[in-house]
Amino acid sequence: MVSVSGKRGNGEGSIYPYKNGFAAYAWVTKPDGKRARKYVYGKTRAEVHDKWIKLHTEAKIGPVATSAPTLAQYLTYWINEVVEPNLRPLTAATYETAVRLYIVPFLGPKRLDRLTVQDMRGWLNKLADTCQCCAQGKDAKRPDDKQRCCAKGKCCRQTLSKRSVNDARTILRSGLTNAMVEERISKNVAQLVKVQRARRKKPNPWSVEEACAFLENAQTWRDNLYAAYVLVLVLGLRKGEVIGLTWSDVNPDAGELRIQHQLQRVRRRLLHTDTAKTEASEAVLPLPDICLTALRLRQKAQAAARTLAGDLWTDSDLVFTTRYGTPIEPRNFTREFNRRCDRAGARLIRVHDTRHTCASLLAALDVHPRIAMQILRHSEIAVTMEVYTHVPSADTRRALRKLGKALGGKQGKKGKDKPKQQPDADDQQES
């Protein structure tokens, strides 16, 4: 502040006429520890004086950056230096895609330190109303004879869902939070914007009877992926976890299974990575008899396939492979699951929805919620009880108790096809 003599002390800066207004500066400490001048500008002396006072306050609190990158520049740095080295490949790819397609085209040129709440609201509203087919030129990339909408002036209105818009905002909020940690900005404007929560779409999982029918059909047809279907239904394994399962993770003597790996295709690469997400994710799961039997059958089938393939066999420790020992593509696993649904006359559901079926089975079998939580590897009991558990009616529960083996019996609906040896899934690898 100005002293009694009317003179400013060292480092207090100066206000002076500049172009069509006024400017001022103050000496600040930068994040790298060096001292430098920081300038502020305005149309009137009073406006600049207020900014100058605010600048002095910030300088007393901590380091102040003397220059700021654009949002596009900072998010590029954040993705390359923070996200890629520390997050899972699929998560990092998701962040990069959201930044490239949904954030930078709208807010990229804005200076990082000049983003406002109004900018956030305008971006979210525009993002929700923008046709992504037009914005990304999807139709224009198709051959001329296959163009059908945006390239021909017929907008298909392929807008983002409310949940996707909220996810983009969450990713930007995470990036701005990192900018605050690095003392590039003083507040996170993305966090200050209130958004309406997207309604979660409730799954419609299989009933116990439908699950029995599906597994019975796969077993009757000697489907190469029968054991995989057993694991996703009984233990609730995710698709990436079951096709990434290794024999070293299976302990048949102890009747245990440890989930430590997953197989995912990320940016055109097939990655076999660790699953270490939480301590619960690494829990040892008990193997029911049906799972042990299915895995032993799978082990014999794989040994026979290895002998038949001869020199064409690719050695790996994977439990589920093609007839030549190569990994199963995630998309091909989904295709095989859908085909088996059709052949079994089962209602088509997503592979991930089998986790919901698993919880229903455990609840119907009166398995204690804590044990179900361990099998499903949830970190909170509330997730198990509120999201995944669909308790069947009393009649269904009584019917289930009459089954000799919940998923190994023959009470399910017969398949539509005749039994035969099912070919290995994913014989043709995706590029």
Domain ranges of the chain: 14-61, 71-192, 208-401
Question: What is the topology classification, in CATH, of domain 71-192?
Answer: DNA polymerase; domain 1 (1.10.150)
Q: Between the CA atoms of 261, 267, 269 and 271, what dihedral angle is there, to the nearest 10 degrees?
A: -10
Fold match between domain 71-192 and domain 208-401: no
pLDDT for residue 193 is more than 70: yes
Q: What is the pLDDT of residue 366?
A: 67
Query: Residue 33 pLDDT > 60, yes or no?
Result: yes
Distance of alpha carbon 217 from alpha carbon 407, whole angstroms = 12
What would the pLDDT profile of 110-138 be if each residue is shown by its tens digit? 999 889 999 999 999 999 999 999 999 98
Beta-strand (E) ranges in 125-184? none
Residues 343-374 pLDDT 10s: 999 999 999 998 888 877 777 666 677 777 77
Integer Cα distance of 29 and 55 in angstroms: 11
Upper half-sphere CA count for residue 189 (Cβ side, 13 Å): 17
pLDDT band (50, 70, 90) for residue 250? very high
Whose CA is closest to 231, among 322, 304, 301, 297? 297
The burial class, CB within 10 Å (0-12 / 13-18 / 19+), for 333 is buried
The pLDDT value given to residue 365 = 62
- Return the structure tokens found at 308: 């038949």
Q: Helix crossing, 226-234 with 354-364: angle to 10°?
A: 60
**Is the per-residue pLDDT at 82 higher than 60?**
yes
**What's the chain's length in residues?**
431
CATH of 208-401, picked from 3.40.640.10, 3.40.50.300, 3.30.590.10, 1.10.443.10, is 1.10.443.10
**Interval 269-323: pLDDT, tens:** 898 888 765 554 566 888 888 888 899 999 999 999 999 999 999 999 999 999 9
Average pLDDT over residues 172-195: 91
pLDDT for res 406: 45
Q: What is the H or E stretch that residue 36 is in?
A: strand 35-42
Question: Rounded distance, CA 327 to CA 244, Å?
Answer: 8
